[in-house]
Chain A
Amino acid sequence: MSTRIRERRGQEMALTAMVAVVIALLSLLPVLRLFKEIVAPGGTLSGMAIEAGLKSPATWIATWHTLVVGIGGTLLAVLSGTLVALLITLTDIRGRSALVLCYVMPLMIAPQVTALAWLQLFGPASPFLKLFGAAPPLGTRNPLYSTSGIILLLGVQYGPLVFLLVRAGLRKLPRELVEAARAGGAGWFTVLVTVVLPLMTPSIMAAAALAFVSCVGNFGIPAFLGIPANYLVLPTLIYQRLAGGGPAVLGETAFLSVLIGIIAMAGILAQEVVSRRRDYRISSTSLPAEPYELGRWRPAVQAGMWLLIVAVLFLPLFGLVLTSLVPGYGIALTARTATLDNYRFVLFEHDAASRAFFNSFWLSIAAAFFAVLVAVPIGYLIAWGKQRWVRLLNLSVELPYALPGVVLAIASLLLFLRPIPLTGIQLYNTVWIVLYAYLARFLVLALRPTISGYHQIDRALEEAAQVAGAGLFLRMRTIIFPLVAPAAIAGGLLIFMTALSELTVSALLWSSGSETIGVVMFSFEQGGDSNYSAAMSVITVAVTFVLMLATNLLAPHLPGGVLPWRD
Chain B
Amino acid sequence: MARLTLDHVTKSFADFDAVKDVSIDVGDGEFLAVLGPSGCGKTTLLRLVAGFEKVTSGEIRIGNKVMSGKGGSVAPEKRRVGIVFQNYALWPHMTVAENIGYSLKVAKLDRAAARQKVEDALALVNLQGLGERRPANLSGGQRQRVALARCLVAAPSLVLFDEPLANLDVHLRASMEDEFAAFHKRTGTTIVYITHDQAEAMALADRIAVMDHGRLAQLATPRQLYHEPANEMVASFISQGILLPADVLSPEQAGHCKVRVLGTELVVRCRTGERPRVGAKICCRAADLEVVPDGPGFDGLVKRVIYQGGSARIEFAPSASPDLTLHFEQPDPVMLERGAQARLRIRSGWLIPATGAAS
Which A residues lie at the B interface, using CB under 8 A?
A: 2-9, 283-287, 458, 460-461, 463-471, 474, 478-479, 482-483, 559
Contacts and interface: CB of A to CB of B under 8 A. Distances in A.
A463 B75 contact: no
Contact of B89 (A464, A469, A470): A464
A9 B89 contact: no
A463 B53 CA distance: 12
Contacts of B154: 468-469
Contacts of B76: 463, 466-467
Nearest to B78: A8
Interface stretch (B65-73, B219-227, B236-244): B65-73
A460 B106 CA distance: 18
Given A287-B136, A470-B77, A465 B102 contact: yes
Contacts of B85: 460, 463-464
A466 B156 CA distance: 13
A463 B107 contact: no
* Leading 7 A-B pairs by shortest Cβ distance: A468-B103, A460-B89, A5-B72, A464-B89, A466-B76, A482-B93, A285-B92
Given A2-B69, A460-B87, A463-B83, A7 B93 contact: no
A463 B89 contact: yes
Contacts of B133: none
Nearest to B156: A467
Given A466-B76, A467-B76, A483 B103 contact: no
A97 B78 CA distance: 47
Interface string B143-162: 00000001100101000000
A519 to B, nearest CB: 41
B321 to A, nearest CB: 43
Contacts of A466: 52, 75-77
Contacts of B50: 463, 467
B109 to A, nearest CB: 11
Contact of A469 (B66, B72, B77, B91): B77
A467 B77 contact: yes
A403 B79 CA distance: 46
Contact of B103 (A283, A460, A469): A469
B295 to A, nearest CB: 55
Contacts of A469: 77-78, 80, 103, 106-107, 154
A458 B87 contact: yes
Given A4-B72, A467-B76, A469-B103, 19 more contacts: A2-B59, A2-B66, A5-B71, A9-B75, A285-B135, A286-B136, A287-B136, A460-B87, A466-B77, A467-B81, A468-B106, A468-B150, A469-B77, A469-B80, A470-B77, A470-B102, A470-B106, A471-B75, A483-B92
B136 A2 contact: no
B297 interface: no
A8 B135 CA distance: 32
B90 interface: yes
A471 B74 CA distance: 12
Nearest to A11: B75
A471 B77 CA distance: 6
A461 B89 contact: yes
B82 interface: yes
Contacts of A470: 77, 102-103, 106
A236 to B, nearest CB: 46
Which of A3, A5, A7, A483 has the most chain B CB atoms inside 10 A of its CB? Answer: A5
Nearest to A474: B106
Max chain B Cβ within 10 angstroms of own Cβ: one of A7, A467, A469 = A467
Contacts of A9: 75
Interface string B43-75: 000000010100000010000001101111111
A482 to B, nearest CB: 4
- The residue in A284, A463, A471 that gathers the most chain B C-beta atoms within 10 A of its C-beta is A463
Nearest to A174: B136
A47 to B, nearest CB: 41
Contact of B87 (A8, A283, A479, A483): A283
7 contacts: A7-B73, A7-B74, A8-B75, A284-B87, A286-B136, A458-B89, A468-B106
Best-buried of B89, B103, B156 by chain A (most CB within 10 Å): B89
A276 B326 CA distance: 46
A82 to B, nearest CB: 26
B82 A467 contact: yes
Contacts of B73: 5, 7
B66 A3 contact: yes
A460 B66 CA distance: 24
The residue among A284, A285, A287, A466 with the most chain B CB atoms within 10 A of its own CB is: A285
Given A460-B85, A466-B76, A470-B106, A483 B71 contact: no
B275 to A, nearest CB: 41
B69 A285 contact: no
A465 B74 CA distance: 16
A464 B91 contact: yes
A89 B76 CA distance: 40
Contacts of A4: 71-72
A285 B85 CA distance: 14
A465 to B, nearest CB: 7
B93 A483 contact: yes
Nearest to A486: B93
B52 to A, nearest CB: 6
Contacts of B156: 467
Nearest to B105: A478
A508 B154 CA distance: 58
Interface string B129-140: 000000110000
A193 to B, nearest CB: 27
Contacts of A283: 87
Nearest to B69: A2
Contact of A5 (B69, B81, B151): B69
A470 B67 CA distance: 17
A128 to B, nearest CB: 48
A468 B154 CA distance: 7
A469 B74 CA distance: 12
Nearest to B81: A467
Interface in B151-183: 151, 154, 156
B74 A5 contact: yes
Contacts of B74: 5, 7-8
B156 to A, nearest CB: 8
